[in-house]
Every structure is written in C-alpha cells, then in structure tokens.
Structure 1
Amino acid sequence: MIPTASATPAAALVAPDNHVLIMIDFQSQMAFATKSIDAVQLRNNAALVAGAAAGFEVPAILTTVAEKSFSGPMFDEIGAAFPGQAMLDRTSMNTWEDEAVIAEVNRIGKGRIVLCGLWTSVCIVGPALSALAQGFEVCVIADACGDVSDEAHERAMERMVQAGVQPMTSLQYLLELQRDWARAATYDMTTGIAKRFGGAYGLGIIYAKSMFGASEGH
C-alpha cells in the first residue's frame, strides 16, 4: 500500500519544546586532554549549540564536574548564552547518577534528551545509556563532544548508536530548531548564530545576504 504524504514534520525531529539539552563538562581541564577535535572548533560548536538553545528557549541543564578542585569553570561562551543560570557541579562521572541533575530532568519533564560535552566515552556514554535504559529518547551532538583520541570518540559514538542513540551535529541542531526560513521571529537570531559559528555555512549566509538581500538565508 502506497502511503499518503503530508506537509508535516516527523516527530523524530528536534523542536524547541520537545527536548531538554544537557551540556556536560565543557571545562578547561577536560578540554586540555581532548584530542579528537581541535579545541577552537570544539568551543565554537559548543557555543553554537548553547546559542541555539538559548535563542529558541530550549530548557537546558548545565553541569560541571569538580569545578573548584580540578576541572575549572564552564566555557565562557556557554555561560554567556545562559546568564545567571546555575551550573550543577557533580562528583560523579556519569551525570545521570547525580541527584540534582535528575531532579532538573524530572522538573522539566521532557521525554527526549539531547547531550553534548566532554569526554564522549565517559561523560556522554554514561548518561546516554542510562537515559535510554529508563525509556528516554536520546540524541548526541557528535561534533560538540570530544575525547582523548579519535578512537575513543568514535568507539563511544558507535556504542551509543548501536544502543539506540541518534547522532547529530551542532549546525544540524540549530537548523532543525529553525526548520523554516519563513519563521521571521527567529530568522535573524538563527542566521546570526550561523554567521558567527557556522563555519563555511555562515560565510555562505553572509554572501547570500550581500548578493540577494536579507530574505535569502539558505
């Protein structure tokens, strides 16, 4: 039987109101040993994700590990996107084992969890597999995560995908939230984030605007 198409999005797509973003351990000491992605690119991608979530008013949980004793504060770019929001500091490597974080997950009350952070093989695998086991849908923003080696990052992503995690990228996250250039209320915000953090895509937006006017962003 041939299905009937309709102009409606899949429920699997992320939208501002259907998930909670958890940003984990974007801290200097954790980034120092991260080798699977360039540190500047990592910060850029994390800032893109944070800006997108804040701009679309996605509920977000920001968590650090051993901030005062070892790992240092969260990247400034993330704190700037969420001014005044508390950073939940933990001792556990697995964010899902921290009662304060879980209290926030339950308070927000979303069935889809989007994760990014450092390191992929520990601080992302732990909550991803734990959330899946408790019935949550889980996405991981792969290029806003990093690990001590390419091998560590790739095997961690493979392990999570095999368990049912859906991988995505930072730019994909931003554009999936916007999804339609006719959404004027968030158009300038989206293109502004893309121009600042979107790499070649951001340069393309600048070029398109200069050639075709402000209404051409894609």
Structure 2
Amino acid sequence: MSEQPITAQNTAMLLIDHQVGTMGWVRSLAFDDLKANALALAKAAKALDIPLVLTSSMESYAQGPLLPELAEIAPAEHAARIQRQGVVNAFDDEAFAAAVKATGRRNLIVAGVTNDICTVFPTLSALRDGYDVRVVADAGGSPTAMADQIAIRRMERAGATITSTNQTLAELAGSWVGPAGSKILPIVGALLPQ
C-alpha cells in the first residue's frame, strides 16, 4: 500500500484516552515525553485547522479526566469529546465513529494511551474501514516495552504507518518557511531537548 501524503487539508487527528490516570500506567515512555508529544499534536491540529477528535474512557474511574491542557489548547473539541463508558475499541462507540466520519477526512493521525489497548483496536477498525492511518507511536505508550512493540508490530502489519511526533509535525509543515511550517516550527522547537 502506498502512503498518501498527509496535509492539513486531507487529514483528521484522533487523540484517544490521554487521561491522567491511564497515562500513569505507561512504562514504555517517560510520562513527560508522552505528555509533551500528545499536546504537541493537539497544538498542531489547532494551528493548522485540522479536525481534532478527542475521546476518553470512564473518566470518573481510575482512568481519570483528559489532560487539563487539552481543554486549554482545544476547548471546543474538549467540550465535544466522546466520553465512552467502558467501550474498549473507540470505533465501536457510535458517537466516536460518527465524529470521525463527520470530519470528511480519509487520512487519520492516531495517538492513544495505551498503545496496546486504546490505540491498536481503533487503528485496526479504521484500516478495515478504508482509512489511511498514521499511528504516532511516541504520543502513546504501554505498561511494558514488550506490549508496546507487539501492538506497534500488529498495527504496522495491518497496514498502518508507524511514525513519531516529530516526523508527523515535519510532514504537516511541508516547508519550514511556508505558512504551515511557520506555525509548526515553534511546536517542534518546544519538543527539543533544552
């Protein structure tokens, strides 16, 4: 399968279960890196007017609420987030599937916590439904490195493109001196080691 280039005009971004409790279960990536990468994706979506769909699972339980910064970065999307009640595969939730379809985009940037549960199943469903899926592996993580590697291999074998936050941001920028690049460059800069 040949990759279609992703642009702000042909892509939607799905951030799945970036919740304070769930993120605390990740051991395959440092919490601060995971958080910075997820927030960078949200900032990029807002900067480039990319449709952004947020979802959470069982916020009143151990999973907790979505990262509070997501409400600051994307207040409308946070207010409209799909609050699933125990549905593991976000695409099995009718409201989530409808929100993704309503974007009108066939290219999806997907990141979720955890990769081995929250990301893998909706990615497989999206691929079966004919979407082109980019999984931003370092904007998610899993309880163990092995679980993360197995999930990433499974998604890649099914046809997803596995990528990183920086790769995704650079691809969306296209050119650092163009209109998109000038909006993305500060986001990338904030991710660089200080």
TM-score (norm 1): 0.82
Which residue pairs with 2:21 in the alignment? 29
2:93 corresponds to which of 98, 116, 140: 98
Larger radius of gyration: 1
Following TM superposition, by how much is the alpha carbon of 1:193 offset from its aligned partner in structure 2, in angstroms? Answer: 1.0
Partners in 2 of 1:38 and 1:79 — Cα distance?
22
Counterpart among 160, 183, 193 of residue 187 in structure 2 = 193
| Alignment counterpart, residue 39 of structure 2, candidates 41, 47, 57 | 47
Aligned residue in 2 for 1:153:
148
Aligned residues: 190
Q: CA RMSD in A?
A: 1.6
Task: Say which of 97, 102, 125 aligns to 1:130.
Answer: 125
8 Å contact kept, 2:172–2:180: no
Secondary structure in structure 2 of the residue aligned to 1:40: helix
Distance 1:186 1:18 in 2: 14
TM-score (norm 2): 0.92
Q: Is the 8 A contact 1:129 1:163 kept in 2?
A: yes
Structure 2 CA distance, aligned partners of 1:189 and 1:22? 20
How much has 1:181 moved relative to structure 2?
Answer: 2.5
Deviation readout 1:131-151 (Å, 9 max, x if unpaired): 111111111001101001000
- Any idea what SS the aligned residue of 1:67 has? coil
Task: Give unpaired runs (5+ residues) of structure 2.
Answer: none
CA–CA distance in 2 between the matches of 1:34 and 1:11? 29
* Unaligned stretches of 5+ residues in structure 1: 1-9, 204-218
Which of 114, 118, 121 is 2:113 aligned to?
118
Identity fraction in percent? 29
CA distance in 2, matches of 1:162, 1:74: 30
